[in-house]
Structure formats: C-alpha cells, structure tokens
Amino acid sequence: MFEKILKNLKSNPPLVHNITNYVTVNDCANVILAAGASPLMADDINEVEDIVSISNVLYINVGTLNARTVEAMVKAGKKANELDLPVILDPVGVGASKLRNESVEKLINEIDFSVIKGNMSEIKALYTNAKNTGGVDVQEDDLINDENIEESINFIKKVSGKFNCTIAATGVIDIVTDSERVSLIRNGNDMMSKITGTGCMAGSLVATYCGSNKNEIFDATVMAITVMGLSGEKAYRKIVEKSEGTGSFRTYLIDAVSLMDFKALKEGAKIESR
C-alpha cells in the first residue's frame, strides 16, 4: 500500500488548497512541503474557485472560522466537488459553539467530503450534536483506548455511514474507516498534544496523500495518519535524547515528515486491519 501511495505522490505531487485557521497555517504549509507537495492558502470568496481549479485537493479546517471564510469554504467545496477533487474536512472544536456547529452542519450539507478527520470529541459532537466543552482538545471521556476500542470502532463506522465518507478519528489509537474497511493505527506519542498544530498537520497530510491518490482515499488517509504518528515518535526520541522541550519537538516533527521514506514507514508502522 505505502509504496503505491508514495509513488503516486512523487510522480504527481499535488497542489493542496487550504482554507484553514491562522493559528497553525504555517505548520500546515510546512508539513505539506515536507511531504513533497505544494501548499496554497487562499480564502477570499472571489478567488477560491479559481484556486480550486488549479489545485488537486481541498483541505477545509474551521479552527478560526468566521462568517467571511465559511462562505468561501462552501464555494470552494462545491467547485471541488464539481471538478471531482477530494475534499477533506477538519471540524476543529465543533461542539464548542453554536456558530461552529451550524457552520460545520452547513459545510456537510453542501459539500461531499472524501474524508472527515477529527479527535473523538469532535467526531461525537458532529454525530450527536453533543456539546464539546474541551474546546479544540479531546475530552478525557472521549479518549480511544484498548478498553473501548470495539465500541469506538462501531461508532466511527456508523459516523462513516451517516456522512458517506472516510472518517479518521485520531487519538492514542487512531481509527480510520470507510464503513467497510477499518484500520487501527497505534503510532504516535503523547507529546503530540503538547504542541499546537499536530491535528491540523495530520489533516493537511491526509489532503496531501489524497491529492495524488484520489482513487485510494482510504489507504491514503491511513498512510497520512501513520506518517504523522511515526514522525511524532521519532521527534519524541530526539528531544528525550537531547533533553529538549516542546519547541524542539515541533521542529523535529516537521523534520521527521521531510525525512520519512518507504523503509522507515514499513518498519515503524503499527497498523492493524479489522
């Protein structure tokens, strides 16, 4: 799987159109470049259709949404659907405000998404309209672990069915499913929640791999989440070795994505198919 996905990325590196938040936008751009693709950020409603038209994939992240950008997201998403490009949704902090809930609902109603990626609190809020009082971080009750894994898988499959797209629910164990296939990914590291942007970077990577692999959305998503997790492990080993902190972790995380190759991926990936 990895070999084909990587080969497609290398032979046709995608132009990734991002409509995302201003907190982690620089990290998203850098991680897309680190993976070998090209990022493009544009959110004015009067240019998003033009930008989508030269892009290979659209990544929508509602981290710091506002009225202006939500309209642009809808317009961009519809154009991407029209052109049959993959569209990825990162419903950051959904459940934390009425505006966020209504905006995400609107996006889901108007756009066909290929992948929705979020932490378990966000996915739950999306499905059940539950209140998400943890803000952009996952709440403790919602952590995916070995005890609740069966239940979690079943739930995520239902979500996938409801929204008719691949769902990537990230956590200590990541779950990716397209309703039929299920992959559990046990890569990653606690330190990833101690910097901002790991979630958004994971979303950008999903967009990157999907951008060159539009007929292999499930595999491309599994691979992106795995690359992110493995990079986190590598960055963590390095800061421990050098007694460094979260600032260095962030730098090494992007380093690791840029240095990731097929061999490292094959050796380090902890993917379980269910």
Q: Which is nearer to its own copies, 148 or 251 (CB)?
A: 251
In this complex, which beta carbon is closest to its own copies, that of residue 75 or of residue 157? 75
Flag whether 117 is marked binding.
yes
Residue numbers at the binding site for its own copies (CB under 8 A): 15, 21-27, 29-30, 33-34, 38-44, 46-47, 50-51, 54-55, 63-68, 93, 96-100, 133-137, 193-197, 243-248, 250-259
- What is the nearest approach in angstroms of its own copies to the Cβ of residue 10? 14
CB of 105 to its own copies, least distance (A): 14
CB of 217 to its own copies, least distance (A): 23
CA distance 114 to 166: 6
Residue 211 CB contacts under 8 Å (≥ 6 apart), including other chains:
14, 15, 16, 37, 55, 56, 57, 85, 86
41 is in an annotated binding site: yes
Q: Which is nearer to its own copies, 179 or 231 (CB)?
A: 231
Please state, in angstroms and as integers, the Cα–Cα distance from residue 250 to each residue in 95, 203, 243, following that order.
Answer: 27, 16, 14
- Residue 64 annotated as lining a ligand binding site: no
| Sequence-ordered alpha helix ranges (H) in the chain | 2-11, 25-34, 48-54, 67-82, 98-110, 120-128, 149-163, 198-211, 217-242, 246-259, 262-268
Burial class (CB in 10 A: 0-12, 13-18, 19+), 140: exposed
User: How many angstroms separate the CA atoms of 134 and 132, rounded?
Assistant: 6
**Minimum distance from residue 14 beta carbon to its own copies (Å):** 11
Q: Which is nearer to its own copies, 150 or 259 (CB)?
A: 259
Q: Are strands 57-61 and 15-19 parallel, antiparallel or unpaired?
A: parallel
Vertex 30 angle, CA 5 and 245, to 5°: 110
Compare residues 245 and 266 and give the one whose CB is closer to its own copies.
Answer: 245
Nearest approach, Cβ of residue 150 and its own copies (Å):
29
Query: Which of 150, 247 has the CB closer to its own copies?
Result: 247
Question: Smallest Cα–Cα separation from 121: which of 154, 89, 99, 144?
Answer: 144
Calculate the CA 152 to chain-centre distance: 18
Does 226 show up as a binding residue in the annotation? no
In the complex, least distance from residue 154 CB atom to its own copies, rounded to whole angstroms: 29
- The whole-angstrom separation of Cα 139 and Cα 217 is 28
Give the C-alpha separation, 150 to 154, whole Å.
6
Count of positions (residues) in the chain:
274
- Compute the least distance from the CB of residue 139 to its own copies, in Å: 11
Q: Which is nearest to 212 in space by CA: 227, 225, 223, 201? A: 223
Nearer to its own copies, 7 or 68 (CB): 68
**Which residues define the annotated binding site for ATP?**
117, 170
**Which residues define the annotated binding site?**
41, 117, 170, 197
**Which residues define the annotated binding site for substrate?**
41, 197
